[in-house]
């Protein structure tokens, strides 16, 4: 048993049928009243121009128990992660080697290759905006191996279209409301106000975007939200728009790649990005863009035609600050995550005093604090020294050491490709047959990661809209903690200005290997801090 006074197997507390029904009514009514919403699915997959209905987002009835000291650790190391990924994005040589189309992942992954080649062409001409901006989320699971203390282990680090900041704040508020309204029927001594941490994602994320706007420095310029066609998760985006307008007087324009192909243009002499709008909306017929914030562009299906790639490269070419730049998107690659576990790599980015100056390095204790969050992982293409690609094995068509090791440890592994959005990983029993089908030349795009062992027998009540009864489902669950941060960096000094700004929890049935809320695998949750 892990060393904690809280018994995870006791969760959730028992409820009578009447208590469960009342709690569900309170929760769903609150969600519908407070913008904890999704647009409903449509037969065509496209949303109407003027929305006329909404459903509540998938939610839990109880907050997820999480050790207080491990939550504090996740918040503490976010500073190191913010700096780490900012510096990776500024290291072109490293990204070319790890993610590029000549010797890295982009050589075998066409999507990554197309992004890298477009970025390389722009670099060869000369990028006009040295500043970059990132909204980040580092995701963790509790790790509870036998006879060892609980720890947190990183699942992944997200650098593009980081979602659910706004709705996570609202679900934390929902659980605090349920505590105030019902005291959860006094079913657990842990359910008390001081164990429900505050969450102010909306202010924190909007403050970051406002810093990018300030750095751009042109009064009246606007922030461009690049969104997906048929986006259902608009209620996770709109609160940032409202916060930016109300607190910072910054206006937002939302457009898809399809729309931007017709509306976006660059000034040939200044590279200023402008987006055309109807003159009865804006007198000049166009608005100048300070910051491009991507809530699209992270998956191949976001680039349905070559014109979509052309639009992405047009935006990248501009002097607007990108969130993220292509470089920062590439930095979020799974292969980068794997390479960072190799000896000396964290010290390269966080401990090199000659490169970053005395005030720009982290202590070895801070670096080790971050390293403790890593699980074991390796590339399928690596040689036996676990550091270099096994090029000879690929040429000969034989298995690399990394593949053989994955076969031997299959039941304790997940294989991850360079894909975002959920539904792409390969787990345990499926690993050997997948390795049989994977062409040798594609192995470079995959990593093997040791599975995180979450506490056993923890449950919750999950409530999803769209089912006939809307009844909560009690399930054994796994909860994932995400810590949000932002970083503004670049320029001649390569200074990194950063903050940790909040958190989320996503909870899924233990029977589900994937974790995406938007893809239907998870529900939104919040934290109950326990000792």
For the question of residue 495 being annotated catalytic, the response is no
Q: What is the DSSP string of 4-73?
A: -SS-GGGPSPP--HHHHHHHHHHHHHHHHHTT-EEPPP-SSS---SS----EEPPEESSPEEEEHHHHHH
For the question of residue 373 being annotated catalytic, the response is no
**Cβ-proximal residues to 418 (8 Å cutoff; 6+ apart), any chain:** 105, 109, 111, 112, 333, 334, 335, 445
Residue 334, marked binder: yes
Residue 422, marked binder: yes
Residue 68, marked binder: no
Rounded to whole angstroms, how far apart are CA atoms 80 and 469?
46
For the question of residue 468 being annotated catalytic, the response is no
Residue 188, marked binder: no
Residue 490, marked binder: no
For the question of residue 79 being annotated catalytic, the response is no
Do 491 and 152 contact (CB within 8 A), yes or no?
no
* Catalytic position from the list 416, 490, 502, 522: 416
* Catalytic position from the list 107, 322, 334, 443: 334
Residue 31, marked binder: no
* Catalytic position from the list 163, 373, 479, 522: 163
* Catalytic position from the list 312, 443, 506, 526: 506
Least Cα distance to 170 among 53, 30, 29, 25 occurs for 30
Burial level of 495, CB count in 10 A (0-12/13-18/19+)?
middle
* Catalytic position from the list 156, 241, 288, 500: 156
* Catalytic position from the list 211, 288, 366, 420: 420
For the question of residue 163 being annotated catalytic, the response is yes
Residue 427, marked binder: yes
For the question of residue 416 being annotated catalytic, the response is yes
Residue 87, marked binder: no
Rounded to 10 deg, the angle between the 238-248 and 201-216 helix axes is 60
> Position of tokens 């801090």?
529
* Catalytic position from the list 421, 494, 497, 510: 421
Residue 449, marked binder: yes
Side-chain-side CA neighbours of 330 within 13 Å: the count stands at 32
Residue 423, marked binder: yes
Do 247 and 235 contact (CB within 8 A), yes or no?
no
For the question of residue 106 being annotated catalytic, the response is no
Residue 424, marked binder: yes
For the question of residue 420 being annotated catalytic, the response is yes
Residue 224, marked binder: no
Residue 160, marked binder: yes
For the question of residue 137 being annotated catalytic, the response is yes
Residue 137, marked binder: yes
Apex 200 CA angle, 194 and 204, nearest 5: 145
* Catalytic position from the list 158, 201, 460, 526: 158
Residue 452, marked binder: yes
Annotated binding residues for Mg(2+): 156, 158, 420
Annotated binding residues for substrate: 137, 160-163, 231-233, 237, 295-298, 506, 517-518
Annotated binding residues for ATP: 156, 334, 416-425, 427, 449-452, 480, 508, 514
Annotated binding residues: 137, 156, 158, 160-163, 231-233, 237, 295-298, 334, 416-425, 427, 449-452, 480, 506, 508, 514, 517-518
> Catalytic residue numbers?
137, 156, 158, 163, 334, 416, 420-421, 506
């Amino acid at each position: 048993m892990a060393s904690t006074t809280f018994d995870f197997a006791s969760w959730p507390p028992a409820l009578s049928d009447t208590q469960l029904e009342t709690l569900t009514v309170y929760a769903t009514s609150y969600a519908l009243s407070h913008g904890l919403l999704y647009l409903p699915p449509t037969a065509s997959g496209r949303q109407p121009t003027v929305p006329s209905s909404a459903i509540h987002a998938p939610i839990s009835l109880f907050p997820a128990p999480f050790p207080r000291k491990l939550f504090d650790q996740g918040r503490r190391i976010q500073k190191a992660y913010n700096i780490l990924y900012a510096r990776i994005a500024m290291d072109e040589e490293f990204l070319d080697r790890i993610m590029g189309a000549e010797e890295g992942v982009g050589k075998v992954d066409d999507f990554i290759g197309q992004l890298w080649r477009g970025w390389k062409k722009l670099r060869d001409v000369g990028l006009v905006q040295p500043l970059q901006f990132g909204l980040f989320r580092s995701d963790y699971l509790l790790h509870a191996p036998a006879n060892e203390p609980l720890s947190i282990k990183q699942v992944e680090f997200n650098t593009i279209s980081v979602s659910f900041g706004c709705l996570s704040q609202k679900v934390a508020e929902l659980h605090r409301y349920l505590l105030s309204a019902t005291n959860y029927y006094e079913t657990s001594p842990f359910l008390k106000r001081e164990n429900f941490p505050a969450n102010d994602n909306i202010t924190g994320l909007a403050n970051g975007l406002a810093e990018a706007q300030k750095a751009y420095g042109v009064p009246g310029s606007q922030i461009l939200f690049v969104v997906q066609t048929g986006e259902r998760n608009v209620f996770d985006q709109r609160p940032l728009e409202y916060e930016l307008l109300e607190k910072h007087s910054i206006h937002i324009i939302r457009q898809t790649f399809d729309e931007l192909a017709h509306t976006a243009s660059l000034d040939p002499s200044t590279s200023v990005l402008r987006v055309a709008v109807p003159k009865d909306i804006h007198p000049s017929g166009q608005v100048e863009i300070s910051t491009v914030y991507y809530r699209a562009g992270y998956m191949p299906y976001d680039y349905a035609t070559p014109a979509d790639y052309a639009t992405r490269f047009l935006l990248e070419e501009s002097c607007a600050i990108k969130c993220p730049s292509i470089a920062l998107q590439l930095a979020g690659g799974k292969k980068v995550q794997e390479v960072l576990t190799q000896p000396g790599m964290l010290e390269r980015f966080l401990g090199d005093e000659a490169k970053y100056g005395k005030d720009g390095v982290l202590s070895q204790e801070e670096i080790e604090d971050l390293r403790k969050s890593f699980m074991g992982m390796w590339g399928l293409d690596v040689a036996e020294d676990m550091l270099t690609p096994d090029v000879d094995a690929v040429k000969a068509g034989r298995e690399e050491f990394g593949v053989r090791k994955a076969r031997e440890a299959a039941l304790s592994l997940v294989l991850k490709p360079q894909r975002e959005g959920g539904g792409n990983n390969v787990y345990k029993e499926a690993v050997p047959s997948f390795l049989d089908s994977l062409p040798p030349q594609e192995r470079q795009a995959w990593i093997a990661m040791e599975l995180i062992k979450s506490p056993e027998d923890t449950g919750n009540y999950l409530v999803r809209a769209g089912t006939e009864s809307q009844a909560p489902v009690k399930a054994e669950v796994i909860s994932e903690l995400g810590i949000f941060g932002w970083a503004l960096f670049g320029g001649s000094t390569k200074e990194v200005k950063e903050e940790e700004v909040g958190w989320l929890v996503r909870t899924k049935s233990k029977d589900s290997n994937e974790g995406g809320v938007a893809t239907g695998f998870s529900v939104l949750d919040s934290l109950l801090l326990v000792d």
